[in-house]
Structure 1
Amino acid sequence: MNSPSISVVIPALNEEKSLPFVLKDLHAIGELNLREIIVIDNGSKDATASVASSHGATVLYEGERGYGAACLKGLERIFQSSDPPDLIAFLDADYSDSPSELVLLLGRLFDSQADLVIGSRTLGKSEKGSLLPVQKFGNWLSTTLIRILYGIRFTDLGPFRLIRSDSLRKLNMQDRNFGWTVEMQVKAAKYGLRCAEIGVSYKKRIGSSKVSGTVLGSIRAGWKILYTIGKLQFTK
């Protein structure tokens, strides 16, 4: 059987220092049929775009700041193609995840016949200090609410994930900010997608966090995630 084609979507904001490591690691994975690596420059002030291009990535620009807005820009390119990839991976640009572990997500997708696989930092091994206490608590609270409201057990809302293209298209993703990851997981549960997780390693990011680097940023992100979980309970 031919290996399924994969496109990788990487939102990036001022990640010139970390992107070379992310992209080199992705290109070094011999087992994957990588269709395209798409880096979405979300308004960087540094050389993020040129670094991404020089390492073989397709670079798109999204002027509206927001994790979801950047991801949607990448999906716009993918779904406008006459021959979209079989699978779509999402990965942060800060090198906190290990891109080489994408093979683990792929293996889990096939072993469990899943439509969506989440790379779980909770189930994996995290470097000390890579996840702040407020992040761990927020993860626990959010995944507990998802289990209670939607009847599906997740252990993480981490950004590292792999999903079948046709399944993702059905989700009709909308969130343009911090609620992107939880929207995908809640909608996957509501629409009956087969979901699975696998433990992944996690290390301290290169550079400062755009979301959890400040108390205010953590509160804003946490509120948006909880709001999204509740809102989707009352929408079709």
Structure 2
Amino acid sequence: MTVDVILPCLDEEAALGWVLERMPRGYRPIVADNGSTDRSAGIARGLGAEVVHEPRRGFGAACHAGLLAATADVVCFMDADASLDPRLLPAVAAPVLEGRADLVLGARRPRTAGAWPWHARLGNAVLARGLRRRTGAALHDLGPMRAARRAALLELGLADRRFGYPLEMVLRAAAAGWRIAEVEVEYLPRKGRSKVTGTVRGTLRALSDMRKVLAGHGPR
């Protein structure tokens, strides 16, 4: 069975080689390039990945472009910055493949103190607490490594195309009665500077996008 792996990408040439070379057998990478100005797209093609170009800037825009390009029954999402090891994908996808869950999030556990800046970790903890209240799911992280069935994700009608996309996915999945689960995954220091968690400003921008998504979804 093939699982498609969607990798939203913006200038990740320093990390893509490591990520794609560690992709497990049976997991097909789809690099959703979001306007990179470096060699990201060429590196991805050279290592056998499918490359989808999404000119509209936005994390959600890249993720959704990859989802539309996917053909496998089960899809995974993960960052392309080497902060997550693709070899952990089978553990995240297994509950979906085996029919035990409908959406699985990888709960990050930092390997080193510097892997997850305090401002990003604090913001994530606040969001996770809000998600537990709204959805009833025992979530502790809005994990960027996740798995679900492609057709079901498309039926959710996800509308956000910015940083609120992963949050909207969880909220809509919970509203649809999906079984949502967590699997712990090791979190590594990323290669290069993050567009989000690398700065307090980037983290606040992401939180602002997510607050807008939360405002559009009432309490459970």
TM-score range, shorter chain: over 0.9
* Offset from partner CA, 1:178-201 (integer Å, 9 cap, x none): 101111111111111111110000
Q: CA separation in 2, counterparts of 1:189 and 1:126?
A: 30
Q: For residue 79 of structure 2, what is the aligned residue in structure 1?
A: 92
Q: Which of residues 121, 139, 162 in structure 2 aligns to 1:154? A: 139
Contact 1:167/1:193, CA 8 A, preserved across alignment: no
2:37 counterpart residue number = 45
How many residues are matched? 220
1:63 corresponding residue in structure 2? 55
Equivalence for 2:9: 12
TM-score normalised by length of structure 1: 0.88
Alpha-carbon distance between aligned partners in 2 of 1:165 and 1:88, rounded to the nearest angstrom: 6
Distance 2:55 2:97 in 1: 36
Partner of 1:39: helix, strand, or coil? Answer: strand
User: In the aligned structure 1, how far is the partner of 2:173 from the partner of 2:158?
Assistant: 11
Write the letter of the residue equivalent to 2:49. A
Q: Are 2:20 and 1:23 aligned? A: yes
Q: Distance in 1 between matches of 2:146 and 2:193?
A: 22
Alignment check: 8 A CA contact 2:13 2:38 kept: yes
Contact 1:43 1:65 in 2 (8 A): yes
TM-score, normalised to structure 2, is: 0.94
The answer (yes or no) to whether the contact 1:42–1:66 under 8 Å persists in 2 is yes
Conservation of the 8 A alpha-carbon contact between 1:52 and 1:59? yes
Identity %, equivalent residues? 37
Residue in structure 1 matched with residue 112 of structure 2 by the alignment = 127
- 1:139-173 alpha-carbon deviations (Å, 9 max, x no partner): 11111112222322211112111111232122111
Residue type at the aligned position of 1:97: L
RMSD: 1.7
Tell me which residue corresponds to 2:178. Answer: 193
Q: Deviating runs (4+, > 3 A) in structure 1?
A: 108-112
Query: How far apart, CA to CA, are the structure 2 residues paired with 1:18 and 1:192?
Result: 36
In structure 2, C-alpha distance between the alignment counterparts of 1:142 and 1:171, rounded to whole Å = 21
Q: Which runs of 5+ in 2 are unaligned?
A: none
Q: Secondary structure at the match of 1:201?
A: strand
